[in-house]
Chain A
Amino acid sequence: MVKTAEELKKGDKFVLGGKKLFVENIELSDVGKQGVKKCRIVAKDEKGENIIIIRPSNYPFNVAN
């Protein structure tokens, strides 16, 4: 299932950089110089390490059900 960055919710799972990640938190910025909002996604990998992902709010993620 495809979700945009701003549609992600806590607990959503996706694979990025070969790692399975779980969404912990999402913050949405104001419209920046590129004319789009950006999402700062804090995700945890399976080892419990936090990964920071910054993407435009409309960036697609393949989320596992």
Chain B
Amino acid sequence: MIDIIITSYNEPKATLRAVNTILKQKIKQDFRITVVDPFDSVGEFLNKHIKSKKFRFFLDPGEGKSYALNFLFQEYGSENKDDLFILTDGDVYISDNAIEEILNSFKDKQVGAVTGKPVSVDSRKTKYGYWSKLLYDGIDFVRRRLSKKKFFFQCSGYLFAIRKGLVIDFPTNVPEDSVIPYLVWKKGYKIEYAPKAEVYVKYPNNWTDWVNQRVRTIKAHENLDREVPEMPRTKSFFNEIKQGLVFSLKYPKTFREFFWTFQLYFARVFVYLKSFIEMKSKKGFKDGWRETEIQSTKPFD
């Protein structure tokens, strides 16, 4: 059984698109899709528009994404290692071949987790769109390299998959796309990158949303040092400088893009500083559905 879990937060129309994109894929294995959302109204909307028996809605009790995932890992888990969990979000959608590409990667029995490739749907002609392309292409470059060397790397929370039976619980105050692959890796399995399994993401398009989203992500990742100190980090301030500086200097094609790249350096320093200051003042990351909604990343709702 392949369990595809879509976590969403009050984005019914976008989530409907995410579900329909999966339902139209040619999946030979038995599968079901579960949407997890803390809003009853989202369940009502989806049940009204989706008639497939493969679909079900799980009303999260509002305890946060990691709590909901732990719950479903335990309820849907099995010891059959050919069974999979595929995790994605309600505000993104996947390419037509994404599930097939992920399943192909799992043909290697040593592969325990597979991550897809986030692709920004924003235009490179705007500053935030350009930043999204630079950052996503940067992480694509890093993942290809680490995957080739068979090293550990963090997956993308927008789309990744694991074999069932490998993780039945995980800490809730760290990012699930980091800690789950690490727990899989610790059991002796490989992490694989499937760059043809694309997941399309709407990026924030203003400073406030961008800062809020980045700060939340950074705080979550910085918790890893405390909770899972032995875990190799893919996403960190120093890794960004070490692995991203040369890449980012080669990336711009026009004078305007060079200017935006330099703005991004200052913006990244700013969000890291803001995150560290907030963590010092005890406003660290806690699992829970978003404290601040990132409105500009919602495509329809």
Could you list which residues of chain A lie within 8 angstroms of chain B, going by C-beta atoms?
Answer: 16-19, 33-34, 45, 51-56
Q: Main secondary structure on chain A at its contact with chain B?
A: strand
State whether A18 and B77 are in contact (beta carbons under 8 Å apart), knowing that A51-B168, A52-B169 are contacts in the complex. yes
Please, which residues of chain B bring their CB within 8 A of the CB of A16? Answer: 74-75, 77, 168
Q: How far is the CA of A26 from the CA of B62 in the complex (A)?
A: 22
25 pairs, A vs B, C-beta closer than 8 Å = A16-B75, A16-B77, A17-B75, A17-B76, A17-B77, A17-B78, A17-B168, A18-B77, A18-B78, A18-B164, A19-B79, A19-B165, A33-B62, A34-B61, A34-B62, A34-B63, A45-B168, A51-B168, A52-B70, A53-B74, A53-B169, A54-B63, A54-B67, A54-B70, A55-B71
Q: How far is the CA of A53 from the CA of B78 in the complex (A)?
A: 16
Is B73 in contact with chain A by the CB < 8 A criterion? yes
Is B97 in contact with chain A by the CB < 8 A criterion? no
- B62, B67, B70, B79: the one contacting A18 at CB < 8 Å is B79
Cross-chain contact B62 with A19 (CB below 8 angstroms) = no
Q: How far is the CA of A17 from the CA of B167 in the complex (A)?
A: 9
> Which B residues from 157 to 187 make CB contacts under 8 A with A?
164-165, 168-169
Nearest-CB distance from A22 to chain B (Å)? 14
Q: Which residue of A17, A33, A45, A52 has the most chain B CB atoms within 10 A of its CB atom?
A: A17
Cross-chain contact A19 with B63 (CB below 8 angstroms) = no
Q: How far is the CA of A46 from the CA of B61 in the complex (A)?
A: 30
Cross-chain contact B62 with A17 (CB below 8 angstroms) = no
With A18-B78, A19-B79 already in contact, 11 other A-B pairs whose C-beta atoms are closer than 8 Å: A16-B74, A17-B75, A17-B77, A17-B165, A17-B168, A18-B164, A19-B77, A19-B168, A33-B62, A34-B63, A54-B67
Cross-chain contact B74 with A17 (CB below 8 angstroms) = yes
Is B110 in contact with chain A by the CB < 8 A criterion? no
Q: How far is the CA of A54 from the CA of B168 in the complex (A)?
A: 12
> Which B residues from 41 to 81 make CB contacts under 8 A with A?
61-63, 67, 70-71, 73-80
Nearest-CB distance from A20 to chain B (Å)? 10
Q: How far is the CA of A19 from the CA of B167 in the complex (A)?
A: 11
Please, which residues of chain B bring their CB within 8 A of the CB of A52? Answer: 70, 169
- Smallest CB-CB separation from B83: which chain A residue? A18
Q: How far is the CA of A4 from the CA of B70 in the complex (A)?
A: 19
Q: How far is the CA of A17 from the CA of B81 in the complex (A)?
A: 12
Q: How far is the CA of A57 from the CA of B79 in the complex (A)?
A: 27
Cross-chain contact B61 with A56 (CB below 8 angstroms) = yes
Please, which residues of chain A bring their CB within 8 A of the CB of B165? Answer: 17-19
Please, which residues of chain B bring their CB within 8 A of the CB of A34? Answer: 61-63
